[in-house]
Amino acid sequence: MNKKWLLFLIVVLMIPQCTFAKKLKEEPLAKTPLPEYAATDEQATLLYAQNDIEKSFQALLTIPDDARTAQNWLLLGNILHDKGKNDDAIFMYNEAVQTDINYYKGYYNLGVLYLEQNKPNMAVSQFQTVIKLKKDYAYAHYNLACAYIQLGNLKMARRELLSAIALNKNVPEFHYNLAYVYKQLKNDKNAKIYLGFYDKLESEQ
């Protein structure tokens, strides 16, 4: 079975209303919008979910810095990331986690951006924090494995991919990248097994 090995990076820019299909439940924020900004917060979130990012961005900017929730900062970061303004997006994500140190979505999106910027050491730190806050988040384990692959630490990548699959065995990319890691580790038997799982899941989609 011939395959061109290509690593899959799963990017999930998370907001409570628009997560990947039923894999991440909505959770209450530690800080809710102040009453005078609740309507603006709701409008901005709805506009973002409808992909009207310019209006969402403008609405979010009307909320003063000290009144923004972690989700407000996250959405600002997502919009700036969509616009390719990654340094500004990183600033917003950092504001999100400073607003709520337990807001794992901010750490996750920071990790994704660092992976995109080929800064795997910084990505590792962010994804490790996500896992401390949400141990059952399969995609954090998966993207942590991607960071380890960038660093050439294949044994740690294997461990995280096995953790991701234990949490969610139905994501084809988890199996594909584990097959890749086994191939690099010269374990052709396991590489073939997980490549088979990948092919089966792909054929079922």
Tens-place pLDDT, residues 97-115: 999 999 999 999 999 999 9
Mean pLDDT for the stretch of residues 51-56: 94
**In angstroms, how far is the first alpha carbon of the chain from the final one?**
20
Residue 9, pLDDT score: 56
What percent of the chain lies above the pLDDT cut of 70?
Answer: 85
Residue 110, pLDDT score: 95
* pLDDT over threshold 90, residue 167: yes
146-152, long-range: CB < 8 A, 24+ apart: 146/7, 146/9, 146/115, 146/177, 147/111, 147/114, 147/115, 147/120, 147/121, 147/123, 148/120, 148/124, 149/7, 149/177, 149/180, 149/181, 150/115, 150/118, 150/120, 150/123, 151/120, 151/121, 151/124
Residue 32, pLDDT score: 73
Of 35 and 190, more confident: 190
Q: What is the pTM of this model?
A: 0.84
* pLDDT over threshold 90, residue 202: yes
pLDDT in tens, 113-147: 999 999 999 999 999 999 999 999 999 999 999 99
